[in-house]
Chain A
Amino acid sequence: MYNFVYMLRRIHFVGWAFFVTQFPSLQCMFIMYSNIFVAIYLGAYKPLIKRSDRYLEFFNELIITVVTYHEMFYTDWVDKMEDKMLFGWSMIAIIAFNLLINILIVLWIMLKNLRLTAIKLKNLVKYYLTKLNKWWNSKPED
């Protein structure tokens, strides 16, 4: 069901972004609704197997929700252009934070895999060296 929800959400987003451009307030509202719906779904059904994946997905969802809330500040509710700019910076900072966390996680997984590969290689070399040593010792002397 997780991928089905993922697909429906994208269709929903594209539909609102392309075909309802004359109602920006409705766009903001319905995209927020879809975020809330997905957050509820993730929390209630826990569709991913790994706990770390679940936490990451939920963290990303939280960031998306906060970023979507920023959209309201770009509407006519906020009069001053300077204030809109300020909220723009806040949005950039939140997205950058999300990117940073995701990149750190990717790096962490990469380092973990590298460590495992190094251990595997070390054991392999050790095995062949022992084998070579045994063969060398068992060789009859001339």
Chain B
Amino acid sequence: MIFDQVRDLGYETHNSIFNLGSLAVFLVFFLVRLLMWMLLKLYEYIFKKRVRYTKTLKHELFFSYPILLFTEAYFEWLISGILQLQTIWLTTNGEILGQVFGGFGLLVCLVVMPYLFIRAIKFPVKVYTRDGFVKKWSSFFIGVNMKTKG
């Protein structure tokens, strides 16, 4: 059953891929790049060679890109994940890929993001202006006053 409130917001299906739209495509891009980084790491480990692109990829993947992806559309991820969990597996709405997307989005929104936020907040105020910190966590603080924790 889709609640009236949600149906009025424009969600006509439980399938998270449909509900997420372009965000699902961005997630696929992210996962492909993550896989690429893992393969490069494996290559480096086996052949004992450094690949420059691995470092660049690492900086983007941990954590600017995923933080931006999930912060900007936090609501969409949350709602599509909850709607997806209400479906029965292996039906049109409950297709496996949709379940994976919905579950992953919900897991990130309810576990990973709060954990990262709390971790970022726990750092001392002085650390906030350091280059390394800004590079890694900048997506959390775009346009936000960093002089105080408030």
| Chain A residues within 8 Å of B, Cβ to Cβ | 1-4, 6-7, 10-11, 13-14, 17-18, 21, 44-50, 53
A to B CB contacts below 8 Å, 30 in the list: A1-B121, A2-B144, A3-B71, A3-B140, A3-B141, A3-B144, A4-B117, A4-B118, A7-B113, A7-B114, A7-B117, A10-B75, A10-B78, A11-B109, A11-B110, A13-B75, A18-B3, A18-B6, A18-B82, A21-B5, A45-B150, A47-B144, A47-B145, A47-B150, A48-B143, A48-B144, A48-B145, A49-B143, A49-B144, A49-B145
Residue numbers in A under 8 Å from B109 (CB-CB): 11
- Which chain B residues numbered 33 to 64 have a C-beta less than 8 Å away from chain A? none
Contact B75 A53 (CB under 8 A): no
* Other contacts beyond A6-B71, A47-B144: 8, CB < 8 A: A1-B121, A7-B71, A7-B114, A10-B78, A11-B109, A17-B3, A18-B3, A47-B150
Q: Tell me which of B6, B74, B110, B140 has the highest count of chain A C-beta atoms within 10 A of its own C-beta.
A: B74
Question: Which label, helix, strand, loop or mixed, suits the secondary structure of the B interface?
Answer: helix
Contact B117 A3 (CB under 8 A): yes
- In the complex, the chain A residue whose C-beta lies closest to that of B114 is A7
| Chain B residues within 8 Å of A, Cβ to Cβ | 3, 5-6, 71, 74-75, 78-79, 82, 109-110, 113-114, 117-118, 121, 140-141, 143-145, 148-150
Q: Tell me which of A3, A21, A44 has the highest count of chain B C-beta atoms within 10 A of its own C-beta.
A: A3
A101 to B72, CA, bound (A): 21
Closest 6 CB pairs of A and B: A45-B150, A4-B117, A2-B144, A14-B78, A49-B145, A10-B75
Q: How far is the CB of A2 from chain B (nearest CB, A)?
A: 5
Q: Tell me which of B3, B118, B145 has the highest count of chain A C-beta atoms within 10 A of its own C-beta.
A: B145
A11 to B108, CA, bound (A): 12
Q: How far is the CB of B17 from chain A (nearest CB, A)?
A: 19
Contact B82 A50 (CB under 8 A): no
- Residue from the list A3, A21, A50 in contact with B3, Cβ < 8 A: A21
